[in-house]
Amino acid sequence: MTPRQIEIWSTRFALLGDPTRLALLVEMHRKPDLAVAELAERVGITENAASQSLRALRDSGWVRTARAGRRVRYSMIDDAVVHQILHDVVGIAHVHGHPHSARHPGAGGD
């Protein structure tokens, strides 16, 4: 790794120290393409708190956005390292039928 890559990953990992951000990532991993209101409800926080945390996650490269009409949908970036971190460290499983549940052994929610 280059010094710049180390700096980037250090910043990205620091964001995971916040329980709200980690909870949002876990929810997006379980069910991608959710709006702020849906994520806030699932995590049990206000929409404002969710928006602020999602902005930080997006700015650091954990999350991507897509417009669906007037709504903005949030998903984790499609990065094997990020997905593996959530599987191995956090120990989460996918919802049955999730698009990449077949790519990760034991990730089918069983």
Domain spans of the chain, in order of start: 3-77
Are the CB atoms for 107 and 87 separated by under 8 Å? yes
pTM score, whole prediction:
0.73
Residue 53: HSE in the Cβ half-sphere, 13 Å Cα cutoff? 24
Helix (H) or strand (E) holding 89: none
Are the CB atoms for 43 and 5 separated by under 8 Å? no
- Read off the pLDDT of each residue in 46-70 and give the average, rounded to a whole number: 93
110 vs 23: which has the higher pLDDT: 23
Ranking 35-39, 55-59, 60-64 by mean pLDDT, the lowest is 60-64
Are the CB atoms for 62 and 77 separated by under 8 Å? yes
In this predicted model, what pLDDT tens digit does every residue of 64-110 receive, in sequence order?
A: 999 988 899 999 887 767 777 777 766 665 544 444 443 433 333 33
**CATH label, 3-77, candidates 3.90.850.10, 3.40.50.11690, 1.10.10.10, 2.40.30.10:** 1.10.10.10
How many whole angstroms separate alpha carbon 91 and alpha carbon 59? 25
